[in-house]
Amino acid sequence: MPNILQEILAVKVQEIAAARAAKPFSTMRQEAKAAPPPRDFTGAIRDRIAAGLPAVIAEIKKASPSRGVLRERFDPAAIAASYAAHGAACLSVLTDRQFFAGSGGYLEQARDSCDLPVLRKDFMLDEYQVIEARVLGADCILIIVAVFCMPSPLTGERLPENEAVARMRKLESLAQELGMAVLIEVHDGAELELALQLCSPLIGINNRNLRTFETRLDTTLQLLDHIPPARIVITESGILAPADVKLMRDHQVDAFLVGEAFMRADDPGVELERLFGQGL
């Protein structure tokens, strides 16, 4: 039985093939030149931390495979404006349609309604998606290391480690060439070893196991000591209460990626302040 990540990747492979057939890579490259200039995603996080504040990447997602529909009344522009008014450092917008009810249009609407840098939250496999992210206006892409450690949806074979790293490096260099930041996401020690072979400073530790959905904040605490101080640790998933924020900050984790807690609230920005305290 394929796990959810494998199911998602199988769909991505088809989506990428269809997108490439509809608009070639070279045309997308041209379109990327006309995209709005990138905003400094890493800088926004560093500035918050340097000021002694939590750096919150506030997520915009209508639904998820583990939770179903999170928010019926879904207006990405209004949510982004509320996040900006209540102290978010950056946005994360789900663009996957089939599993998260997202879209590239949501990213554009969110980015247009504020001046925060935006992460395109999707399952990146191919350079085409990186260019597409920039065309949409994204300032950061996500590289999920688990994606490159899975058996391929096409061949059923697992990539050797050096090949997995080479593929991730290709995506990372293209993103950097286009002026975007890269958030590298890991869930365990083996993935972290591969992530540290890339050069982006942003290391996301996903507390959620994307194969089983089990979410444990301990995941961040266990991996922390293995991350060199030059990298910025971002704890992702399952941050629901002020006590979760305190636990992380007590361990010097000051950057957060939060979705569900905000999406379930009447006003996501007000919930951000409630969770992280006023004065952001």
The residues annotated as belonging to the active site are: 59, 61, 121, 185, 206, 236-237
Check residue 54 for interaction with ligand LARABZUK (CB under 6 A): no
**HSE on the CB side for 68, CA within 13 Å?**
1
Report the b/e string of 249-263 with b at 16+ CB within 10 A: eeeebbbbbbbbbbb
Show Cβ contacts of residue 279 under 8 Å, excluding neighbours closer than 6 positions: 53, 87
Per the CB < 8 A criterion, the answer to whether 236 and 191 are in contact is: no
Check residue 176 for interaction with ligand LARABZUK (CB under 6 A): no
Q: Which amino acid is at 144?
A: I
Mask for 4-43, x = binds ligand LARABZUK (CB under 6 A): x---------------------------------------
- The whole-angstrom separation of Cα 24 and Cα 28 is 7
Whichever of 178 and 258 has its CB closer to ligand LARABZUK, that residue is 258
Mask for 198-217, x = binds ligand LARABZUK (CB under 6 A): --------x-x-x--x----
Question: Can you tell me which of 12, 32, 59, 139 binds ligand LARABZUK, judged by CB under 6 A?
Answer: 59
- The whole-angstrom separation of Cα 56 and Cα 39 is 16
Interface with ligand LARABZUK (CB under 6 A): 4, 59, 61, 64-66, 206, 208, 210, 213, 236-239, 257-260
